[in-house]
Structure 1
């Protein structure tokens, strides 16, 4: 018996440093003789005779060749597992990974019998034992970030659309992956986490790490001077010269300088307004503080046509004058009136709202369109 024991000790001395296969825990921890050693932790067995170290879940030991019968001084505790193995360079049995047995489900994951894993609080450890989960119950530390308290294991988005931060037993840790931007046709790319209006009605979109997610919402109306306007509806500014539009509940207006009005014989004439000339058939307009009057020679000897700025118009012909007023030649006389179009039904002599059409004028052909109840025209270049 003594001879056999001496042979075993000699084999231990010759082998020196040996790696042992044993049950591992999360983060490379090791279990041996009732204690748990963290990854990288060293410990001794049998006084100073054997030095061991836990490394990546395995115990590596080095035994002094001078030591004999060192296991006589070691008291082995009862293992917490059902299956053990005795290693020749350790005095106490080791737990082996359990095969078979009932598995465990935890937070949507399935663990085999004997597996160890972290609890959802990220500070306690759990183990699957025959279908039951046993976890340590040490107190975990909370985290405080920007005045907000988080429990250990609780996570929150970083705000860039792809990274998250997690409280891990008092430490607030965040991932810092590079987020992908979102290209949008006709616009500059949006960075991950940014919000922007979508293409349909009033939907709001957000860029999430290269992917675009949109949510539909009811378009808010705009209230201006007691009037409600729908999203996309245009209307005149109170100054009479700028235009406004209701967009997503906000009013956006042009910033054009408004023209001046005119004062005629003590009467204020608004810019663009017209009034009869003193000759009885011509008309005058106020243009940015200045008066401009027509000078028509309405008759040709021997017929009922009209001559305007050197252009001959036959009886019944309609044309636009230089102020875009609608004029007609009637038996040698020209009569004009402000040309307006109905912006609601879009009708102007059969012309549709917003459509472009050509109109003869005293200064040549003009291209016109109906915009918000008024006719906008420009000369056709020759």
Structure 2
């Protein structure tokens, strides 16, 4: 065999060998026969026109929410809403959370409830009590009852007149008119004609 014949035979074998190498196309990309490549976390190889890949389950991305890290599929609460980490994305329900009640001077009030504190108007707002800031006139307490400034205060003695002034109850004897009329039982003064 001459050297030219040897070259001709080798060239023919090369042409035949490349004619049998089949490339493969995977997800829009073409790879040479025998070429390896990645598909996410899986290893692939082009083998005689077919893409052959491992089938490992790729790990899903964690989520960061309000400074905390959650794994894929992990469920947690955010106030009154239910949340879940889904491959790097946080998904939460969108419920409106109930507002907190208030305790004011030992008494419970619901959110939005309005009430009086002396002469001021108050309202429970999500756990906090907001009141107007009026300066209330001084009141008097006498025998378990409250009286405003200037009010007459009930007295147990019929011949004593009491009134509320500067937060204190002042009493003085009743001065009866000088007459000799009829005095009803329990009355201090007679009824004059």
- Greater gyration radius: 2
- Same structural fold, with TM-score higher than 0.5 when normalized by the shorter chain: no
Give me the TM-score of the superposition, normalised by structure 1: 0.22
